[in-house]
Amino acid sequence: MRRRTAWVLVAGVAAVAIGAAAVGGLALVLRGRGAGWSSNNYLYLSLEGEIPDEPPASDIGSIFERQPPSLRTLVESVDHAAADPRVSAIVMKVSVLPEAGWATMQELRDALSRFRRSGKPAYAHLEFCGNKEYYLASACDKIYALPSALVEVTGLRSEVSFFKGTLDKIGVQAQFEGVGKYKNAPNQFTERGFTGPHREQMEALLDSLYGQYVAAIAKGRRRTPEQVQAIIDGGPYDGPSALQAGLVDELLYEDQLEARLKNANRLSPGRYAKASRGFGFDGRPKIALVYVAGEIIPGRSQNSPLGGGFAGSDTVAEALKEARQDGAIRAIVLRVDSPGGSGTASEVIWREVALARQKKPVVVSMGDTAASGGYYVAMGSDAIVAEPGTITGSIGVFGGKFSLHGLYDKLGISKEILTRGRNATVFSEYQPWSDEERARIRELMVSFYKDFVTRAAQGRRKRYEDVDAIAQGRVWTGVEAQRNGLVDRLGGFDLALDLAKERAKIGKGEDVRVVVLPERKSLIEQLLERQDDGAQTALPADVRALLRWALMLGDGQPLARLPFDLRIF
């Protein structure tokens, strides 16, 4: 009875949604790509919570809850507004963006800079913001703030938690083998603090990102880097002190800012981008866009109950194969925003990239993170584009398990193990490794590392020794990666698209149709999926990130993953 009721509810909601979509589609047709709008508009960007790199698989989510616009939707809307005579300005309300990384901020900053070059103003309005949010706002012509605003411009920090002490107390032994001087993901479980290489790597990343942060604010606010550093050292600020320090231009409320826009109409980025995009039933050249977003796992892509998502090798490989076999698709842009994950799943995707490249150009656009397995899937492409603040590299591997023997003893649990085969207990959660088992795991990790470096050398047209020297699990920012020859150009998705057009011999000024693969799921598929969705666990972001990849351990597969969960505030 409950199942029948659920089906009735699904059918009812589907009918309502289909009707709404039909009415919305008809409205767009009648408007002729926004032709019904007035000639006096401004684009309103309200940024809070998250800016997803990958757009939702369907618009059905908007029926149940507010969905934030994706990064591509935001950038598209800003770029279209720059050339649209009906849009006179941008107003950007910036609040806390805890999940957005530095590359996301840079891609938005670049779009705002292009908008300003069209001769139109962009205004930021702050209520509460931290370092990343102010970094984004500094790309605008003017920055306004509430009188009671909090502007927490305090400099960058990175926090890394270590759990060896906790594991020792509960009788859990972390056993790992990794290859690469800097491949220190297991350190969170095997150490009580930074090792020398771990600290060296973190200091270098902070130096690179802090330099980018200071330089961008100095340029946007017309200050010297020394002046900006002095302002940072004086933070945090409230509204009046931020005004005095020159961080904001004026204190006013949002309605007062809107009043200065002479009764212009507000446009949302989602609606505006859709109308500007048109319907796609035309003869424009097609370029496929395939996302690798989240931890890389074998099988199908899926959402994680701990937040975020998983990029399934089957899902991504099928999308690449479809793009390769479709004669109407001229090139492929692979958008990677992933810390890596399963080494074998990464290789499945790498293989499809290599096959696709034999048929048509493949250009990689890197998001906030494209490290380890995220770099593995990218290295076989024709060209790699990254933002200066992208976290990439981490060419290395590790694998291991947690031995729970001591914990079981504390809990009064005993276990007897019967085996056939010398190494039958190698992946037992109860039995610690023998010296022979550890040596065998080490051999497997070394073999995978050599394959990783060899393929990186082939993809980047370098000698093995040269790649090995900059590999070792070392993580780089995008600007450092370009300097080391791991990426080709610095920029965002728009630059990757231009390179794909160029390699596909599509005219520079010629418009293209970007086709996202795999195609969006049907309405019914989305509704049925949502029946089984549970509420995401309300855990801190760093704990959720730790659990997501810790759950991948213990099955013996090599993990090509970022050597730590990097969160720089």
- Residues noted as catalytic: 183, 372
With residue 560 as reference, give the H or E element that holds it.
strand 559-561
CB 472 within 8 A of CB 396: yes
Return the residue matching tokens 């082939």.
458
Structure tokens at 122: 């962009």
Name the amino acid, one letter, at 165. G
The whole-angstrom distance between residue 318's C-alpha and the CA centroid of its chain comes to: 21
Integer angstrom CA distances of residue 204 from 101, 201, 467: 17, 5, 19
Closest CA relative to residue 164, chosen from 156, 175, 154, 153: 175
d(CA 399, CA 185): 10
Name the amino acid, one letter, at 275. A
- What strand order describes the sheet that includes 302-303? 173-179, 397-403, 559-561, 340-342, 295-297, 309-312, 302-303
* Residues sharing a CB contact under 8 Å with residue 81, sequence separation 6 or more, in sequence order: 43, 87, 90, 115, 120, 267, 272
HSE of 343, CA atoms in CB hemisphere, 13 A: 24
Helix (H, G, I), strand (E, B) or coil at 196: helix
What length is written for the chain? 569
Q: Number of helices (H) and strands (E), helices first, in the chain?
A: 22, 22
d(CA 423, CA 275): 61
- Name the DSSP letter for residue 299: S
CA angle 244, 249, 252 (to 5 degrees): 100
